[in-house]
Amino acid sequence: MRRRKVPWSDLFDAARKARQRAYAPYSRFAVGAAAYFEDGQIASGCNVENASYGLSVCAERHAVGCGIARFGPRRLLAMAIIADGAVPPPPCGACRQVMAEFAGGELPVRCRTLRGREKRFTLRQLLPHAFSNAFL
């Protein structure tokens, strides 16, 4: 399969727009994410907090879930994450595991602040021992 060029600018634009719709009354830490799928589709998500903290949903899982709901199960090719802060926000462990369900270890994950500071990872760097993966 020929590798598709990742449209990072489009991904971060989608993540930034999603972040503006975040519901984060408890942490006051709005996050946006955009997932890029194998057919060129982009799905975005934002964090949605809940007074029962365990019921909150991270932006990354929201983006993946929205993509699966809109396009059906397919391979994830890239993930962009954006939030306001001094350092780029890497995904939490639960989000890393959800990404691993739909992508291999070479999945590029880019995390960015609103001021443009960026960190780049592969999923394997973030989650070296994923529980399982249907796409590996």
Give the tens place of pLDDT for each residue, 71-118: 999 999 999 999 999 999 999 999 999 999 999 999 999 999 999 999
* CATH number reported for the structural domain that contains residue 13 in this entry: 3.40.140.10
* 28 belongs to a structural domain: yes
* 80 belongs to a structural domain: yes
* 2 belongs to a structural domain: no
Give the tens place of pLDDT for each residue, 117-133: 999 999 999 999 888 65
**DSSP 3-state of 43:** strand
Print the domain residue range for 84: 8-126
* 3 belongs to a structural domain: no
H/E element, 82: strand 76-83
* 37 belongs to a structural domain: yes
In percent, the amount of the chain with pLDDT more than 70 equals 94
| Dist. CA 9–CA 90, nearest whole Å | 18
**DSSP 3-state of 28:** coil
76 C-beta neighbours (distance < 10 Å), count: 25
* 15 belongs to a structural domain: yes
- Of 60, 101, 106, 118, the catalytic one is 60
* 134 belongs to a structural domain: no
**DSSP 3-state of 81:** strand
Number of domains making up the chain? 1
Pairing of strands 76-83, 108-113: parallel
* 132 belongs to a structural domain: no
Is pTM beyond 0.95? Reply is: no
Whether 101 is a known active-site residue: answer: no
